[in-house]
């Protein structure tokens, strides 16, 4: 019985991990398109308090089935909220910022406030054309939309990111404010955290792939 329970838990954990990787990849790809248009955006997957800035006239939809609509809504002021079932819950909303980040705007502050618990946050900067991923209050990855063919490497990068684990990366103070502390994982893609730990996992990942 113990072995069966353990197998069920392991299977559930693997399924959850795959789900996170899939939504991360989708939002990064949409974010890259937004960045290349010179616009900014903020996506939050999970539970967060927010206030709609616009009337919610667009019915909820599965973001996988309509990424183009997701991209269009992302161009509006405010954040897009996606629930745990990958359904667009709200768009054009304001997230109350509990933290401020020097030299960064309100979107980054809202992103930091939203990156709590198990929430996944993807922020697109219109200033530097970079897409940043935040988990558990930490910025864990940065993708440069101006890097040629960077979208082709997103799947590999997300796979490694989940292999390393969000809990092993550096805090927002060492990543957003000092991006040079990150490791250039692939052209245009930077992973933040302990150089030793990440390097060790990259080595294992490289042998696997």
DSSP per-residue codes, 36-87: HTT--EEEEES----EESS---SPP-BTTT-HHHHHHHHTSSSEEEE-TTSB
What's the pLDDT score for residue 136? 82
What's the pLDDT score for residue 164? 60
- CATH class of the domain at 17-208: alpha beta
What's the pLDDT score for residue 135? 86
pLDDT < 70: residue spans in the chain? 1-18, 98-104, 162-182, 185, 193-209
The set of residues, in sequence order, having a beta carbon less than 8 Å from that of 117 and lying 6+ positions away, is 46, 47, 136
What's the pLDDT score for residue 140? 85
Radius of gyration of the chain (CA): 17
> pTM, whole model, 2 decimals?
0.80
Please state, in angstroms and rounded to a whole number, the distance separating the CA atoms of residues 136 and 124: 18
Residues paired with 51 in a beta bridge: 94
What's the pLDDT score for residue 50? 95
End-to-end Cα spacing for the chain? 35
What's the pLDDT score for residue 57? 96
Domain range list for the chain: 17-208
Sign of CA pseudo-dihedral 17, 142, 101, 38: negative
pLDDT tens per residue, range 81-107? 999 999 999 999 999 876 666 666 788
Please state, in angstroms and rounded to a whole number, the distance separating the CA atoms of residues 124 and 145: 10
């Amino acid at each position: 019985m113990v072995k069966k329970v353990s197998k069920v838990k392991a299977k559930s954990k693997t399924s959850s991990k795959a789900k996170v990787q899939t939504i991360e990849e989708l939002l990064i790809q949409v974010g890259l398109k937004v960045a290349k248009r010179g616009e900014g955006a903020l996506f939050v997957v999970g539970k967060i308090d927010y206030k709609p800035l616009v009337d919610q006239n667009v019915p909820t939809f599965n973001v996988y089935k309509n990424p183009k609509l997701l991209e269009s809504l992302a161009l509006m002021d405010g954040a897009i909220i996606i629930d745990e079932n990958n359904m667009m819950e709200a768009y054009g909303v304001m997230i109350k910022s509990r933290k401020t980040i020097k030299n960064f705007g309100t979107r980054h502050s809202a992103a930091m406030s939203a990156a709590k618990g198990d929430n996944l946050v993807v922020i697109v900067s219109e200033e530097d054309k970079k897409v940043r991923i935040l988990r558990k209050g930490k910025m864990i990855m940065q993708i440069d939309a101006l890097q040629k063919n960077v979208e082709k490497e997103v799947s590999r990068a997300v796979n490694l990111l989940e292999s390393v684990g969000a809990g092993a990366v550096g805090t927002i103070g060492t990543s957003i404010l000092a991006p040079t502390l990150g490791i250039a994982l692939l052209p245009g893609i930077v992973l933040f955290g302990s150089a030793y730990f990440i390097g060790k996992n990259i080595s294992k990942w490289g042998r696997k792939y």
